[in-house]
Amino acid sequence: MARLYTDAPVGANPAAEQRPAVKRGRMVNRTMGEPSSQLHERHDAGDFDTATQDKVAAPR
């Protein structure tokens, strides 16, 4: 007998979207959107405060 897939799709739980860990996870390796929400490489927890693209990118 086939089993139904019952897991909720990503984004189905608005309460989970507000968790700090979820917000940080969405920033890592992000290349689109606001530079302040992009963290191309994460090596330390402090990178979320000091290494987002708006802080490290050279001005054009």
Segments making up each domain of the chain, as ranges: 20-56
pLDDT digits (tens, 9 = 90+) for 6-40: 676 766 778 888 899 989 999 998 989 999 999 99
pLDDT score of 8: 66
pLDDT score of 60: 60
> How many C-beta atoms surround the C-beta of residue 52 within 10 A?
19
Residue 58 has pLDDT above 90, yes or no: no
Q: Which residues pair with 39 in a beta bridge?
A: 28
Q: Count the alpha carbons within 13 Å of 52 in the hemisphere toward its beta carbon.
A: 13
pLDDT score of 12: 74
Buried b (16+ CB within 10 A) or exposed e, 10-48: eeeeeeeeeeeeeeeeebeebeeeeeeebbeeeeeeebe
pLDDT score of 14: 81
How far apart CA 19 and CA 59 sit, in angstroms, is 32
